[in-house]
Amino acid sequence: MKAGSLIKMANQIADFFAAMPCREQAVQDMAAHIRRSWEARMLRDLLQHIEKNGDSDLSPLAREVFAKLEA
């Protein structure tokens, strides 16, 4: 899948979870959603893109989530 599409999806998901009152819960819930809903290749492709190009296109919440997912 193209990185641009994955970034757009990640930011849209982050917009949804950003409405939660507790930031840490939002990070945990978004990470769980990504693990549960995304195909492994989607996550792998986005993490590879982040490694090569950085994460500046991701929203702050998405950056935080994907940093935890790659750890």
pLDDT at 71 over 80: no
Extract the tokens encoding 45: 């492709």
Kindly state the DSSP code that residue 20 receives in the 8-state scheme: S
CA dihedral 12, 44, 31, 63 (to 10 degrees): -60
The residue type at 15: D
Q: Determine which helix (DSSP H) or strand (DSSP E) holds 70, and give its type and residue range.
A: helix 60-70
pLDDT 10s digits, 11-53: 999 999 999 999 999 999 999 999 999 999 999 999 999 999 9
Distance CA 42, CA 21 (A): 28
Cα 69 to the center of its chain, rounded Å: 8
pLDDT at 36: 97
Where in the chain are the domains?
3-70
